[in-house]
Structure formats: structure tokens, C-alpha cells
Amino acid sequence: MRIAVLASGEFAVPTLQSLQHTKREIVCVITQPPRPAGRGRKSQLTPIGAYASEQAMDVWALADVNGHEIVTRLRELKIDLGVVIAFGQKLGPELIGAFRGGCVNLHASLLPRYRGAAPIQWAILRGEERTGVTVFRLTQRMDAGPILTTRSTLIKPEETAEELHDRLARIGPDAVKAALVLFEDDPDPAGTVQDDADATKAPKLAKKDGKLSFAQPAEQLARQVRGLWSWPGATAVYGAADGGRQERVTLVRARVAETAEPETVEPGFLGTGLHVATSDGWLEILEIRPQSGRVLSWPDFVNGRHTRPGDRFTPCGTGL
């Protein structure tokens, strides 16, 4: 089987690595063009583009994958199937039709749940206990094509979106291989039609979605912290009770505190156990990152800042 891989992000790397060790021929890897990144804003290849280049694969970095010349070139290569993973461009019908079997897409959710750009984050934000990956046949409706294979996993209680991303990326290769076997047995496998009545959305997140307000339930805040790490990040301003320190921080990992502190404290303030008061209880911070530093355990942050009861977290942009 001759395949083309259309991908850009880190999520696709394990699957591409896995496909290298099968009997399938990877004709080309199509990815987004290099973009400025990092502090120096130097132009960098996408993660999949960098890996494929290191492996001496034929890499096409395209700003518009649907161009007529590209479609014609792909038709001439007589590729059996396009494998799409976190690519970043919508594929038009002519492009999909350039592959003998069309295209399949690896998506990081159990479709039809969490269709959209941020399925991993939204699964945590919504308190799901289970998620997984789905390989489906690509159509013009976003993430709505017939399902070919799925693989599921439990979400760990204190797992961040970044950690879940990496786990799902490692599960992806098995689902993709199983889908390719279907095409070897049948050049046009129908798959299972998705039930739109069960569909939920996972829209793209923005920086503003990371601003924390502690006047929310502790469980919701814990999910927000874990679901938004490492991007856009759950941010707040930490301030000392005496007004001597104020700094922007990103909470990395948190959970509902198992405590029976009787005191009445306004949301955002630290109680005697150095947990943060919320609208219905206490939030225990496990890891935190100062704006200009590395990720710290909460005890290390407490020791470095001499944190005390009465210190406070406030939403970014509002001061203390």
C-alpha cells in the first residue's frame, strides 16, 4: 500500500514512526510551511516536518495543499490512501479524490464526542473519565465521517492535557494500523456512520480562556488547571498579604483539597493549610510556574516566596 501522510504537530510523530516499520510505502509527508517560533522567532519546520526530514523522507511544506498543481501531482503518484493527523488545513474534495481510497483522519477523541480543534483539553475540562482516539474516513463535514477504528483509555485523576496528549499520541499508531488493514481487505470500507445526536464540540481555545476566577467550584477549577496545561495555561496573579510581592503565575496541576478547614475565607485567599479558597471549598495546588521561571512543586514555591495564609490569587489584569 502506497500512502501519503498529511500532518504537522507532535501528535503525529509516533504514528509516522510506526508506519516506517510496516510494509506500507510512505510516498511523501505533506505538512505546513515553516513558521517563526521561540524567543528568537526563527523560522522552524513543523514537528512532523523536522522528523520526516531527518529520516530523509520526501517532505512537501505547503501553504495551500488544495492547489491544482498539488492535486495533479498527487494523482500522478497513484497513492492509495492519505493519512491525515493534526494537519491544520482543510482538505477539499478534489484533493481527497486524488487518493485511490480517499483519506482517513486520526482524531484525539472518541467520536462523535468532541469534534473540533481541542478535543483533549475539552475532555478534561468537561470532567470526562474516558477518552481515546478515532480513525474515520474524511469528508467535508468536520470530524463527522464514518468511523473505522477506535482505541479508548481512562483519564487519570490528576493528568494534564499535555500528558494525555502524549499518551493518546502513543495509542494512535495501533488505531491507524488497524484502519489500514481494513483497506487491504476492502478497497472501500464503509465504516460506521456517526450519530450526530451524540456529537459534542471541542472549539479552539484562546489565551483568554486561561484566566482563572476562584469564585468557581473547586472541581471546576482543578479541571481548568489540568485541562489548559500547557496551552493556553491557567493563569492568575499571586500576591502577598502585605502587598510586598505580586507576580503572574500559571497553575500546572491541582485537585480538590481533602481538608475540613472550618475558616471562612473569600475565594482566592489562602487558608491556614495553604489551600486556595473557592466558591464551595478548597483547591490544592500541586505544581505552579512563575511567569519567568520553571515549573515548581507547590512546597518549593511556598518556601521560595515565604507564602503564608492571607496571600491571594486574583484574575490576571485585575490587580490585587
> What's phi and psi for 178, nearest 5 deg?
-65, -35
What pLDDT, on the 0 to 100 scale, is given for residue 274? 95
Share of the chain above pLDDT 90, in %: 90
Q: C-alpha grid cell for residue 47?
A: 514537528
Q: Tell me where in the chain the CATH 3.10.25.10 domain(s) lie.
A: 207-314
Distance, in Å, from the CA atom of 314 to the CA atom of 319, rounded to the nearest integer, reads 7
Residue pLDDT, tens place only, 80-90? 999 999 999 99
Other residues' Cβ atoms within 10 Å of the Cβ of residue 158: 14
Q: Which of 191-215 are b and which e, b meaning 16 or more Cβ less than 10 Å from the residue's Cβ?
A: beebeeeeebebeebeeebbbbbbe
**pLDDT exceeding 70 applies to what percent of the chain?**
97
The pLDDT of residue 260: 66
The pLDDT, as a whole number, for residue 261 is 66
Yes or no: say if 204 and 116 are a contact pair by the CB < 8 Å rule: yes
| Alpha-helical runs (H) found in the chain | 13-20, 47-54, 68-77, 93-97, 119-125, 161-185, 218-227, 298-305
Res. 164: pLDDT tops 60: yes
Looking only at the bridges linking them, the beta strands covering 2-7 and 81-85 are parallel
pLDDT band at 317 (very low <50, low <70, confident <90, very high): confident
Assign 243 a pLDDT band (cuts: 50, 70, 90): confident
Inter-residue contact 124 to 161 (CB < 8 Å): yes
Average pLDDT over residues 39-65: 93
Q: At what angle do helices 47-54 and 13-20 cross, to 10 degrees?
A: 20
Half-sphere exposure of 318 (CA within 13 A, CB side): 14
Give 3-state DSSP helix, strand, coil % of the chain, rounded to 5. Answer: 30, 25, 45
Asked if residue 125 has pLDDT above 80, the reply is yes
CATH 2.60.120.10 corresponds to the domain 207-314: no
pLDDT for the residue numbered 24: 93
* The pLDDT of residue 43 is above 90: no
Closest CA to 203 of 122, 273, 149, 145: 122
Residue 136 backbone phi and psi in degrees, to 5: -135, 160
The pLDDT value recorded for residue 39 is 67
Burial class (CB in 10 A: 0-12, 13-18, 19+), 258: exposed
Supply the mean pLDDT for the chain: 95
All 3 cell numbers of residue 27? Answer: 510516498
Compute the average pLDDT of residues 17-41: 89
In the chain, list all ranges with CATH 3.40.50.170. 2-198
Q: What is the pTM assigned to this prediction? A: 0.94
* 277 strand-pairing partners: 282
Q: What is the pLDDT of residues 111-120, one digit of tens each?
A: 999 999 999 9
Inter-CA distances, 99 with 3, 33, 36, 95, 142, Å: 9, 22, 32, 8, 19
Using a 10 angstrom Cβ sphere, with 0-12 exposed, 13-18 middle and 19 or more buried, the burial of residue 72 is exposed
Structure confidence at residue 320 (pLDDT): 39
Grid cell, residue 72, equals 495533479
Of 276 and 35, more confident: 276
**CATH (one of 3.40.470.10, 3.40.50.170, 3.20.20.70, 3.30.70.100) for 2-198:** 3.40.50.170
DSSP string of 74-133, one letter each residue: HHHHT-SEEEEES--SPPPHHHHHTSTT-EEEEESSSTTSSBSS-HHHHHHHTT-SEEEE
pLDDT category of residue 38 using cuts at 50, 70 and 90: low
3-state secondary structure at position 236:
strand
